[in-house]
Amino acid sequence: MIPFLDLHKINEQYQEDFKNHFTSFLKSGNYILANEVDSFEQEYANYCGTKYCIGTSNGLAALQLIFEAYKALGILQEGDEIVVPANTYIASVLAISNAHLKPVLVEPDLNTYNIDITKIEQAITPKTKAVLGVHLYGQLYDVTRLEKICKSNNLLLIEDAAQAHGALNLDGRKAGNVSDAAAFSFYPTKNLGALGDAGAVTTNNKELADVIFKLRNYGRASSYQNDFKGYNNRLDELQAAFLRIKLKHLDGDNQKRKVIAQYYLDNINSIQILLPFCNDLSKHAFHLFVVRCKKRNELKEYLFKKGIETLIHYPIPPHKQEAYSELDGLCLPITELIHQEVISLPISPVMGESDIDVVVASCNNFQI
């Protein structure tokens, strides 16, 4: 079976470094918010090109802490509306509603799967205070146009960069540095994945960063002084150590993903399969290689029989989830079409050429 993502093989190459860093971590006696977290935050901020990085327990926490920090600063308040793409993973929407804000779902562009810029302004009301842009599947949303809309409407621009580690804007800025604040997930399957759960916020706003540093750690300004009613959302010291090792290889791993993506784009020619649109392959992180097929379930079953594991990102849109039954009445036909047809093919930096060829040949032989 060709796995969708071979996490063991990805992490096995760093096994000795992991062991060495674990030994150092164990001997240090400092297990919470110590040197490894501090070092990773500095290194990841430098990587993204931002002034600040705040490590968190996971990606959802990172995103929610951004909203909570803006509330603490008086810039957001409960009930404010946040524009968000309707086809995003549910975590984007959860972060909004968990912060007692209101998600306003906007249809995506059917080509890029990112938010349709042309439909944002019609969703803006006097209650709208921010746009949460999502770099879905590893390709940045239209940064220039979205920045312009947010500036002209006095809105915050926040990135959900959970799938876009190392992705680039056309002007060279990286994901995490094309907004007021960005949230990252380092879930093990991400391009930069921990060996557990982890996340981070990046920003150039010192005031915001200072609040998030406190909020993630009980709202503490010092050991026994609490400025806010905070949370326990700290980045784990050991995960930070592992992430520091893998960060050095992120660009190289992303490049391997791009080579596979280019091969798929050049060689998959089935009329049953719609390949992804890519503005500039060199800027895409290709966290996922997502195709569409009207006979998605049949394709998935066929590829499984050929020994190829695939996944669906995502089968159910947020507004059709039981958790958001209040949104069920929304008319979002493009979102629903995407969720009915998308299927993700294997792509990873450890895929062998023979496996890639099998995926291509199997896709081209699919008939229904």
Q: What is the pLDDT of residues 260-284, one digit of tens each?
A: 999 999 999 999 999 999 889 999 9
Q: How many CB atoms lie within 10 A of CB 340?
A: 15
Query: Could you tell me which of 144, 182, 172, 218 has the C-alpha nearest to residue 44?
Result: 182
Q: What is the largest CA-CA distance in the chain?
A: 66
Q: Which fold has domain 250-364?
A: Aspartate Aminotransferase, domain 1 (3.90.1150)
* Confidence (pLDDT) at 242: 98
Torsion of CA 68, 120, 113, 193, to 10 degrees: -20
Q: What is d(CA 109, CA 92) in angstroms, rounded to the nearest whole number? A: 18
pLDDT (0 to 100) of residue 368: 77
Which residues of the chain, if any, have pLDDT below 50?
Answer: none
CA–CA dist 161, 63 (Å, integer): 10
Is 7-106+114-247 a domain of CATH 2.40.30.10?
no
Residues 117-165: tens digit of each pLDDT: 999 999 999 999 999 999 999 999 999 999 999 999 999 999 999 999 9
Q: Where are the domains of the chain?
A: 7-106+114-247, 250-364
